[in-house]
A and B are shown apart, each in its own frame.
Chain A
């Protein structure tokens, strides 16, 4: 048992527990908190695979996004919903079979999967390598994504502006 294995098991356990709690809990904020633990431990697993850049970006994007999700969760949901829903037996059965089928398919697929000879030095200067790949092979998708984000940003600004002018009209 190496240190890496121990770290992997702890991280995997936290990730799975976070996922299970996320589905199980009824409170929006509790769900979001369990999601945080899942995302952070997945970032930890990336670090174990020597993919620091992906790990850090995972934390950067998801921790920011999670705060926003939490804000919306608090703002858009009722504070204490005590809804007891009865779930039909047949539905539980259907979901159960689905889960088992998914497990069998994934298990077989993973067992069959074989990676070719891996590039051993891939992790050295991985930020630089990702940068070079992005700006040489994948320039067009990269730029298209940035345009998409820009459109979303401008769209948000336009929507916010519109609200303001409509409010002004209402006041008049």
Chain B
């Protein structure tokens, strides 16, 4: 149906249909963000032997995040007097918009996907890079030295970890021979790339944690040690936008990891009767859970260790992975 719509002449009905599809995806993502935050707090509570949110919305605190978001929305919107007003307003938008844009190429199952473009993987990497500009801009526009330093810190981290992130994916591209995410999933019909390039998977996982600025790499925020980073001066819904971008990236990154390394919607052998979307959701939830688990158990690393780890450990490992993947392809997959 989408193919037909894309090739017919444009009109308001098409606009409406695509708009509705986009709105549905946005609603799903916002629903995920709401409950991912709750799940994070619940799991962390469980790991730290406490209960976690349990007041609003029944015994499990199901409406806790809704209440939090409502609180943020009705807060006073403060723009500092000496801040650079237009850029201060633009920064959260520039940080959030790419996080939702990247979802356009994500194939959730054989049928549930939006744009099936040839360079899907490259598109994800390219567009997600724009968010770093939003963060740096937010830090600068606040006209506060702490937020400027925070912005610098985040930008340095994002750029450093993008390199091993991209390099670790090259193994997968070598196996598939395509940058199209659907082709990559199709290539994992028999064995997931996680087993074919384990080094690539580990490097990708670690650098994705840094890209999402989650523990142990949550220096951009580091709520208990450094002042909150690039968004010190932000409050209310602008601050909520930065946080939203972070969690939408969690959604996008977990989906990308499922697609690249865990075989997307492909079922585990002998369990093919379960539909693809469910498989995707299961693998996706597993990754999100592991990320929360890591947050509950790892200490934060220092800024200089962070940089050294990216350039001296992850980058050589990613280069090694390219070599090993090429060898594996030549020897076993011919």
Interface size band for A: 20 to 34
Is the beta-carbon distance between A67 and B136 smaller than 8 angstroms? yes
Q: How far is the CB of A78 from chain B (nearest CB, A)?
A: 14
Distance of A30 Cα from B127 Cα, bound (Å): 21
Is the beta-carbon distance between B90 and A64 smaller than 8 angstroms? no
A8 at the A/B interface (Cβ < 8 Å)? no
Q: How far is the CB of B90 from chain A (nearest CB, A)?
A: 7
For residue B141, which residues in chain A have a CB less than 8 angstroms away from its CB? 29
From the candidates A29, A59, A68, A74, name the one contacting B126 in the complex (CB within 8 A).
Answer: A59
B125 at the A/B interface (Cβ < 8 Å)? yes
Q: How far is the CB of B30 from chain A (nearest CB, A)?
A: 25
Is the beta-carbon distance between B137 and A29 smaller than 8 angstroms? yes
Distance of A18 Cα from B155 Cα, bound (Å): 23
CB under 8 Å from chain A, chain B span 123-173: 123, 125-127, 129-130, 132-133, 136-137, 140-141, 148, 152, 155, 158-159, 162
Is the beta-carbon distance between A60 and B9 smaller than 8 angstroms? no
Beyond A59-B127, A63-B129, A74-B148, 15 additional contacts (C-beta under 8 Å) are: A3-B9, A29-B84, A29-B87, A52-B123, A53-B118, A56-B123, A57-B122, A57-B126, A59-B129, A63-B132, A63-B133, A66-B133, A67-B158, A127-B118, A127-B119
CB under 8 Å from chain B, chain A span 64-84: 64, 66-68, 70-71, 74
Given known A-B contacts A64-B162, A126-B118, A36 and B133 have beta carbons under 8 A apart: yes
Could you say which of A3, A27, A29, A33 has the most chain B C-beta atoms within 10 Å of its C-beta? A33
Interface string of A107-127 (1 = CB under 8 A from B): 000000000000000000111
Given known A-B contacts A52-B118, A53-B118, A53-B119, A2 and B136 have beta carbons under 8 A apart: no
Q: Which residue of A lies closest to B133 (CB)?
A: A67
> Could you pull out 30 A-B pairs where Cβ atoms are within 8 angstroms?
A2-B9, A2-B10, A27-B84, A29-B137, A33-B87, A33-B137, A52-B117, A52-B118, A52-B119, A53-B118, A56-B122, A57-B122, A59-B129, A60-B125, A60-B126, A60-B129, A63-B126, A63-B129, A63-B130, A63-B133, A66-B133, A67-B129, A67-B136, A67-B159, A70-B137, A70-B140, A71-B136, A71-B152, A125-B118, A127-B118
